[in-house]
Amino acid sequence: MIETIGKLLWATPGWAAQADGAGLDEASVAQVLEEAGKLARDVLEPLAKVADEAGCRVEAGRVKTPAGYPETYRRLGADGWITADLDPDLGGMGLPVALHVAASLPFEGAALPFMMALGSTRAGAHCLAEHAPGLREVWCPKLAEGEWSLTICISEPDAGSDVGRIRTKAAPDGDAWRLSGTKCWISFGDHDMAARIGHLALARTGTAEEGTRGLSLFLVPNLTDDGADNGVRVERIEEKLGLHGSPTCVLRFEESQAVMIGEPGRGLAQLFTMIELMRLQVGSQGAGVSLRCNELARGYAADRKQGGKPSEAPVPIDTHPDVQRMLDSIEAQALVSTAMMLEAAVAVGAKRTDYAAFLLPLAKTFCGEGAQEAASTTIQVLGGAGYTREWPAERLYRDARICTIYEGTTGMQGQDFLFRRLLKDEGAGLATFAEAMRTELSPGVGLELLSRLEALSETVRAGAPGGQMAAADGFLRAGWACVSACLAERVKALGFEAPMAQYLALAPARFALAEAQVMHGLGEVPNS
């Protein structure tokens, strides 16, 4: 896995320049990735199994995490993994975003639920670093060390994706603020891993009629600066399909002291730094799970012996053509997802805003969908064993299901991709991608689908608003069919011929299905 990640990283256009700018050569990058791989294998993978079985619980109003969580969290902080890409002056290591993402892939595949605590803390540290002078010097080093942690608090019982309906209120209290209301779906909203937990919460400082323009961003610690209780209550933790090792909390704020971040009424804009990085993490979760599934399925199939001539010893199941087909499918998904995450991470690191904004909805959505498919196929490769808890395949399947839901559902990503990236941004990200691919690739499936996506874009532009809304999911899927095919061409050229040949053979069919969905949404295909 580690060698493959490194190979794909160095093949990502723009990475070599970023590595050189950070003073990194191939040996130093390999060392970082090897250490990440060892930590994933030796510490996080065993921890994930224990955590899935034990789960989290509330004791005396506080969340108790599985055995080993506090020690592992602090170890990762002490070793610099939590905010590796943060400025060294704020406690980070100053690594490029792309290397941080590459190193996180084995972590996510090994223990996705645990890693959610690191993801929100890292993203929140970047948000404070960018928007909160005065707070960042105090908070960021503590976050980097693993002594403190951060959450993101947006959703409420009556306000999920419809953020403009948030009811949690913040009222001025002298030079400070007091925040009251209920937030739900808060990952690691409370835990026993860090001495202090800060909540980056959206709250209403304007009127309800102002919608999102009446929202401001606040830092709300669970403890005040003098260590007193700050009125943050855990109402419950959710019982979930997966993520048993991640406490998903409902939090109630009772006149909690809060510090405003940035300007009043600009809360959502200030929070976008955190949202972007957390969507990048969700895509990394999907890619990490797919990589782990590939490793698991191939290892099992090489050892498991079934079939062959009755007069001879049974043969490894990876010699059977149908099993080979499934293994190639899993590997292709892992490779394409990894290539996608590294492409997006390099774009984010280079501050190529339009291009990153074009890639992130695709990365977040389809690395997540791909992880579900990879885990499902891995269970199939393992057969009955895959359906049991003796093997991690069923846990990976349950955990990966969340990836297309949180940090913006697939429907929200489709609307972002069409209405913002195509219409509002006038296709700037697509134009950047098209120029890069036509420079990099030889004629083939990838460039064929690129031309078809550009033509489909013009058709969608001309559609009526209602039809465009109905076509958004299909257009998102057409975008992925094209982008993933182009990335598959890059991966194939690195020597991964077998899995990429199958993936590319099916790419035109995936695009055609998405295209038909778009045309139906636009009203160009009659109901039948």
What is the reported pLDDT for 162? 84
Name which of 125-129, 157-161, 277-281, 323-327 the model is least confident about.
157-161
Res 182 pLDDT > 50: yes
Say whether 442 sits in a helix, a strand or coil.
coil
Q: State how far the Cα of 440 lies from the Cα of 261, in Å rounded to an integer.
A: 42
* Average pLDDT score over residue span 412-433: 94
Per residue, the 3-state secondary structure of 11-73, as one string, reads: CCCCHHHHHHHCCCCHHHHHHHHHHHHHHHHHHHHHHHHHHHHHCCEEECCEEECCCCHHHHH
Share of the chain above pLDDT 90, in %: 90
Per DSSP (E only), the strands in 227-363 are: 232-237, 248-261
How far is residue 222 CA from its own chain's centroid?
26
Res 525 pLDDT > 90: no
What is the reported pLDDT for 383? 96
DSSP label at residue 94: -
Helix ranges (H only) for 441-496 are 445-461, 465-492
Q: State how far the Cα of 464 lies from the Cα of 247, in Å rounded to an integer.
A: 43
Amino acid sitting at position 443:
P
- One DSSP character per residue, 400-417 reads HGGGGTTTS-HHHHHHII
Condensed to tens digits (0 to 9), the pLDDT of residues 365-406 reads 999 999 999 999 999 999 999 999 999 999 999 999 999 999
Condensed to tens digits (0 to 9), the pLDDT of residues 225-252 reads 999 999 999 999 999 999 999 999 999 9
Res 87 pLDDT > 60: yes
Residue 528's pLDDT band (boundaries 50, 70, 90)?
Answer: very low
Q: Which of 163, 41, 54, 9 is nearest to 107 (CA)?
A: 41
Amino acid sitting at position 509:
A
Q: State how far the Cα of 271 lies from the Cα of 275, in Å rounded to an integer.
A: 6
Amino acid sitting at position 84:
A
pTM: 0.95
Please give the radius of gyration of the chain, using alpha carbons only, rounded to the nearest integer: 23
Name which of 198-212, 315-329, 375-389 the model is least confident about.
198-212
Q: Which residues are catalytic?
A: 407
Average pLDDT, the chain: 95
Alpha-carbon dihedral 273, 279, 282, 286, rounded to 10 degrees: -130
Structural domains present in the chain:
2-145 (1.10.540.10), 150-265 (2.40.110.20), 409-528 (no CATH)
**In the structure encoding, which two tokens stand for residue 455, read together?**
């033509």
Per residue, the 3-state secondary structure of 116-176, as one string, reads: HHHHHHHHHHHHHHHHCCCCHHHHHHHHHHCCEEEEEECCECCECCCHHHCCCEEEEECCE
Res 2 pLDDT > 70: yes
Res 62 pLDDT > 70: yes
